[in-house]
Structure 1
Amino acid sequence: MMYRCGWGAKEGQETVLAVEITREGFEWALRHACLSHYVPELHADQAEWKRQLKHAPARVQWDPERDLHLDPLPYRSLQLGLGGEAAERYADEWIVGIEDVTPLAKQVHAHVRVGELTRAAALLPAERPYPVAERTVSRLRG
């Protein structure tokens, strides 16, 4: 995700934070989320989807994951947007840690710029699939 802020170089996005939240909070957001786009197989009709979207405190969209060259990978990752009650809970209840990873983002980017992808990748945290109950995400597949 560090690349989305230009590795900490985009104006107004010069600080990169790693925010750790509770599992309970993340799963609450998933249970109360609505897809950011209409899917006929999942929604009765567009009007119902729009109603759900308007009232949902969280939105889900699936974006292609990217490699260090920003080329799309063959799988997608969940992007979760919070608003209303979810944003309040996030700020007041779910956060258990915040770390400034701006120096790390800049270091990774420096390696990428000169083609040292192995060194860049070695600095990144290990990513693994997040285990979650199928019933929680089945209505969020788009």
Structure 2
Amino acid sequence: MTPQHRIRADHDARTIVVYQAYSPAVAGPALRAKRFVPPFSFNRMTWIKPSFLWLMHRSNWAQKSGQERILAVRIIRAGWEEALSQAVLTTADPSVVAQAPVHVQWDPERSMRGAALNHYSIQVGIGRGLIRTFAEEWVVDITDVTPTVQKIAALRQGGRSAQAQRLLPPERICPVPPAVAKRLGIDA
């Protein structure tokens, strides 16, 4: 049986890739600057997702309005772990969640066709108090993966799933410190 709550991500010893979907108005300046700059909002929570397929489901393969550009954001692992160390599950007491600098929720992972799978994908909401740290200290690189998303979507729709599958980013289990895993319900 597949463990229900594990972080699956494209990562190495120093960094982890998270995905975000934005409008061209936000994505363009971020890509040119190689960091988040206005009109990116530093005044509201930003959600980062290490699961490529979950974001494809959420953005309808970059077809939803305001989510037409898919960015692969490489951040330092120390920042990722810092965010998780300050996180509260969104299922916790609402008064605790309201005060938390970082929110974590688990949503069903998705297949390439968008079907819910029997295990979960983590979504991490970075609150206003950490947004600048995320944008200015944790982000190492920002890449526009929209052309790859469009190619995968076309192959998928054309019934060429095996070819589409080969273009997916590599995601494997990303370990976290034991205390963080226990608090956030991450399976060992």
Check if 1:128 corresponds to 2:172. Answer: yes
Say whether 1:84 aligns with 2:128: yes
Paired residues in the alignment total: 132
Q: Does 1:31 align with 2:75?
A: no
Which residue is 2:60 aligned to?
6
- TM-score normalised by the chain length of structure 2: 0.67
CA displacement 1:34-78 (0-9 Å, x = unmatched) = 11113xxxxxxxxxx233212211100111111111111121111
Q: Distance in 1 between matches of 2:86 and 2:76?
A: 16
Larger radius of gyration: 1
C-alpha distance in structure 1 between counterparts of 2:77 and 2:96, whole Å: 24
**1:119 alignment partner, one of 146, 158, 163:** 163
Give the corresponding residue for 1:107.
Answer: 151
Task: Name the structure 2 match of 1:73.
Answer: 117
Instruction: State yes or no: 1:55 paired with 2:109.
Output: no
* % same residue: 40
What secondary structure does 2:173 align onto?
Answer: coil
SS at match of 1:3: helix
**Offset of residue 102 of structure 1:** 0.5
Output the CA distance in 2 between the equivalents of 1:115 and 1:68.
12
Superposed structure 1 runs of 4+ greater than 3 Å apart: none
Aligned to 2:33: none
Q: Extract unaligned runs of 5+ from structure 2.
A: 1-54
Q: Counterpart amino acid of 2:122?
A: L
Q: Give the Cα separation in 1 of the matches to 2:160 and 2:169.
A: 17
The match for 1:46 is none
Bigger proportion of residues as helix:
1
**If the length of structure 1 is used for normalisation, what is the TM-score?**
0.87
* Equivalent AA in structure 1 for residue 90 of structure 2: S
Answer whether contact 2:72 2:143 (CA < 8 A) is retained: yes
Q: Distance in 1 between matches of 2:167 and 2:183?
A: 35
Superposition RMSD on alpha carbons, in Å? 1.4
Report what 1:42 is aligned to: none
